[in-house]
Amino acid sequence: MDNVESDEQEAALQFRFMTLEDIPDVMIIEHEAFTLPWTEEAFQNELTHNHFAKYMVMELEGTAIGYAGMWTIMDEAHITNIAVREAYRGRKLGEKLLDELMRTAAYLGMERMTLEVRVSNRIAQSLYQKKGFESAGLRKGYYSDNGEDAMIMWANLPPASRSGEEEGSVTDS
């Protein structure tokens, strides 16, 4: 992809909060991305009953191509999941999605962000390190599909400007 196409793609990207109507598209992404995908019911519960949960969808030309979620508790955000459609991987869209999630967390007053990542997932670890996450230990046997350990990672979030138009690009629609 050349720079012109990349710039056009970036301009066409939109981020918005997830709705119940997004769940069928999110399930496609979920099954492409994870060996232990969440269920539709899990996402319904997150969106309707978990007041700590914040989920967003990344769209390109009106099509959901990625999503991310976090729990915001006190001044900390815990990333629950982040995924991009298989056909759109390798275009730095996961990085853009993570950037938007981090901006949104900072805007909501979060000071730190954490996540767990498979110890074998070097690509994700590299992205998280690039964004300021550092390893803070392991959760032994965290993944139930194969007993793999999870690396715990933390990052400090920069303070967000909460005045005027500095809110980021997430929309409520």
Q: What's the CATH number where 4 sits?
A: 3.40.630.30
Residues contacting 125, CB < 8 A, separation 6+: 117, 151, 153
pTM of the model: 0.85
Please confirm, yes or no, whether 128 is among the known catalytic residues: yes
Residue 118 forms part of a structural domain: no
Residue 128 forms part of a structural domain: no
Count of the separate structural domains present in the chain:
1
User: Among the options 116, 143, 148, 167, which is catalytic?
Assistant: 116
Distance CA 107, CA 122 (A): 29
Q: Tens-of-pLDDT digits for all 173 residues of the chain?
A: 555 455 556 668 999 999 999 999 999 999 999 988 999 999 999 999 999 999 999 999 999 999 999 999 999 999 999 999 999 999 999 999 999 999 999 999 999 999 999 999 999 999 999 999 999 999 999 998 899 999 999 999 988 765 444 445 554 54
Please confirm, yes or no, whether 116 is among the known catalytic residues: yes
Q: Residues 128, 66, 30, 171: what is their CA dihedral angle, to the nearest 10 degrees? A: 100
Domain that holds residue 1: 1-110
